[in-house]
Structure 1
C-alpha cells in the first residue's frame, strides 16, 4: 500500500472487521435459534466459522510483497522483539505514538468495556437493552470514525496534536458524565461521539506509525502496537 493510501487501507480493514463484528454474532444467533433441535444450529455455526478461516488463510497466502526481502541473518524471537522495542524507544515520534495508544486503551477503552455492563445492570432502567444500545453506540461510533479517517487527508503534526488533546479531554469528560447520569440515551450519544473520536485517532495514529517505520521493522513494530492496543484492554 502506498504511503498516501495508508488511512484508506487501514479504514477498510478495521471497518470491515467492525462490520463483521456486528454481522457474525447476529448470523450465529439466527442459526442457533432457528435449529433448536439438538446441536444442529451450533454445528452449522461452527462449520461456517471454519470455512471463513479457510478462506482467510487462502487470501493471506495470496499476499505478495512488492519489494524483495533483503538477506539478513536469522535471529530468535526474543532478539526480534528486543530489536523492535529498541527501535520504538529510540524514535521519539514512535515512542509518543505507542504511549498514547497504550494510555487510551488502558485508561479509557478498558474501563468502558467493563463499565458498560455494570452500568446497564445497576443503574440504567432498560437493563439488557441498555447494554446492547451502549455497545452498539460505541461500536457504531468507531466505525464512523474509521470512515472519516479514511476519507480525510492525514493531519499534520500541529493539527494532530490539537486533535489528540481535544479527544483525550473529551474521553475524560465522558467518563465523568457517565459516572453520574442514569439516562441510557445520554450514555448512548456520548459513547457514539467518543467512538467516532476513538476510531478516527486509531486510524490516524496507526497510519502515521506505519509511514514512519522502515519496512524491515514493520512486522515487529506492528506486533508491539497490537500488544499495546488490544493487550492492555483486558488489564
Structure 2
C-alpha cells in the first residue's frame, strides 16, 4: 500500500551525498564494489522512509563528473551496478508510487544505460508519491556551465533579452528546473565538504555531516536528522521580528 506524503515541519526536499561505500567494504576485507552494492540496497530503505518523514523529494548523488578518475574496473563495475539497479528496482519503484528522474550529463554514459534511464523515467512519470532524483555523471559546476550555454544560445537566437536575465532565470536552465531547492543536504562518512553537488540549488540549504558510512545509514538516523531539521530557524538572511 502506498503511503501518502504528509505535511510536517521537516524538510520537503532532502539531498544526500552517499559517501563511504569503499571504506565500508575495505574495513571488511572486501573489494570496493562490494560496498557500492551494499550502498545501492540502502537506497531502497531510505526511499521507503521518506513518506513517514514528510519528505516529498529525495535527491541522491550516485556518480559525479569527477568519479571518472577512479580505476577503470571500479567505473565499469559502477556502470554495471546502475544498469542492474534499474532492472531490479523498476517495478518496485512504480508499485511504491515513486517518480524517478535523472540529472547530470548523459553524453558520456553508454547508450544502453542512457536508454534504460529514459525508460525508467517514462515508466514512473505518472507516479505521485516520493520524487526520487538520481544524480548520475553529475557535477554542480558542469551543470551551471551547461545551463549557461543553453541560456547563451537563447540570447543569440533572440529568444531571451539579456536585460531580462536575473537570479530567477538560470534555474530554468538547470537539470533541476522541475524540482524545488533542497532544504536539507546530508553527507555521510564523516567528510565535511559538498563535493560539487547542487551548488546553485543549495544556497540556503541546511547541512548535516554525519560519521556513519553510507551502507550503515539507517532509516532511523534519516528520521532523526529530518526531525532535527524542524527545530532550526531558517531566516534566509533576514532578522527575526
Does TM, normalized by the shorter one, top 0.5?
Answer: no
Q: Under a length normalisation based on structure 2, what TM-score does the superposition of the two structures give?
A: 0.22
Q: Under a length normalisation based on structure 1, what TM-score does the superposition of the two structures give?
A: 0.23
Higher strand share: 2
